[in-house]
């Protein structure tokens, strides 16, 4: 190409849909804009991709800036390129969704005025961020039926009821307790710790952990994870 060729100049950003789970409801972490355009409105956490970064690296950096966490489950979702999606400039955005265990020690950066909202009851978002959230929910549901990514939203030890509550929140439907437990046990990827959570009843509920090594071994042998 000639040196004087005038390429059109665009900006490329990442936006992060951050999901959490509080034991009953699926949550989303949003920030309040402190700059124009749309100052004071709610949005996803995002930022521009630096010159020496991939979009995944940028999303990792931005998530760390907001939460202080590293090694978060993060998946690239979609690219949004509508000409008028941002009134300030021609900005294309690559969305990513992340799964966070809310019970981890999260140090939310106060600079961003971030807040957890119930996924079913979050404020209207700027630009095309509402569409990004809808797309992320659909992807999360697809992944949760074929991969054990739901465990990323739970503490290390959890009850079967915690797990059922999580999947009910993800899919927005209720499950029969006996059938759900039977289906999970048939997957054979949990370890009973023989410890109990005594907060729910006098009898208590057994606490489980996800056996990642066993799961990976089963996958190598042709196992299909399906909820």
- Which CATH number is 212's domain given? 1.10.10.10
Looking at the structure, do residues 105 and 39 belong to the same domain, yes or no? yes
Backbone angles phi, psi at 15, to 5 degrees: -125, 140
The CATH number linked to 141 is: 3.90.79.10
Task: Provide the pLDDT for residue 58.
Answer: 97
Distance separating alpha carbons of residues 125 and 30, to the nearest angstrom:
9
Contact residues for 17 (Cβ-Cβ < 8 A; gap 6+): 28, 44, 77, 95, 96, 97, 98, 132, 133, 136
Is the model's pLDDT at 1 over the cut of 70? no
Give per-residue pLDDT as tens, 161-192: 999 999 999 999 999 999 999 999 999 999 99
In a domain, 111, yes or no: yes
For residues 7-22, average pLDDT: 94
Last residue within a domain, chosen from 90, 123, 145: 145
CB 48 within 8 A of CB 93: no
pTM of the model: 0.93
User: What value does the mean pLDDT take over residues 30-58?
Assistant: 95
Average pLDDT across the chain, whole number: 93
119 belongs to a structural domain: yes
- The pLDDT tens digits of the residues spanning 109-121 come to 999 999 999 999 9
Say how far apart CA 121 and CA 169 lie, in whole Å: 13
Nearest one of 224, 192, 186, 184 to 209, comparing CA atoms = 192
Is 31 inside a domain boundary? yes
Confidence (pLDDT) at 2: 52
Range(s) of the domain holding residue 113: 11-145
């Amino acid at each position: 190409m000639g040196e004087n060729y005038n390429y059109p100049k665009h900006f490329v950003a990442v936006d992060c849909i951050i999901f959490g789970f509080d034991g009953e409801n699926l949550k989303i972490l949003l920030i309040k804009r402190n700059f124009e355009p749309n100052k004071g409105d709610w949005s996803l956490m995002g930022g521009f991709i630096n010159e020496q970064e991939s979009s995944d690296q940028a999303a990792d950096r931005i998530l760390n800036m907001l939460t202080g966490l590293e090694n978060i489950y993060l998946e690239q979702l979609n690219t949004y390129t509508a000409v008028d999606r941002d009134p300030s400039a021609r900005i294309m955005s690559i969305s990513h969704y992340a799964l966070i265990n809310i019970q981890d020690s999260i140090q939310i950066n106060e600079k961003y005025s971030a807040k957890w909202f119930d996924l079913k009851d979050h404020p209207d978002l700027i630009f095309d961020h509402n569409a990004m959230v809808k797309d992320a929910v659909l992807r999360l549901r697809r992944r949760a039926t074929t991969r054990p990514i739901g465990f990323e939203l739970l503490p290390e030890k959890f009850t079967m009821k915690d797990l059922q509550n999580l999947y009910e929140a993800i899919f927005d439907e209720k499950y029969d307790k006996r059938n759900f437990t039977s289906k999970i046990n048939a997957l054979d990827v949990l370890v009973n710790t023989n410890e109990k959570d005594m907060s729910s009843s006098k009898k208590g509920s057994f606490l489980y952990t996800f056996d990642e090594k066993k799961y990976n071994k089963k996958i190598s042998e042709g196992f299909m994870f399906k909820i």
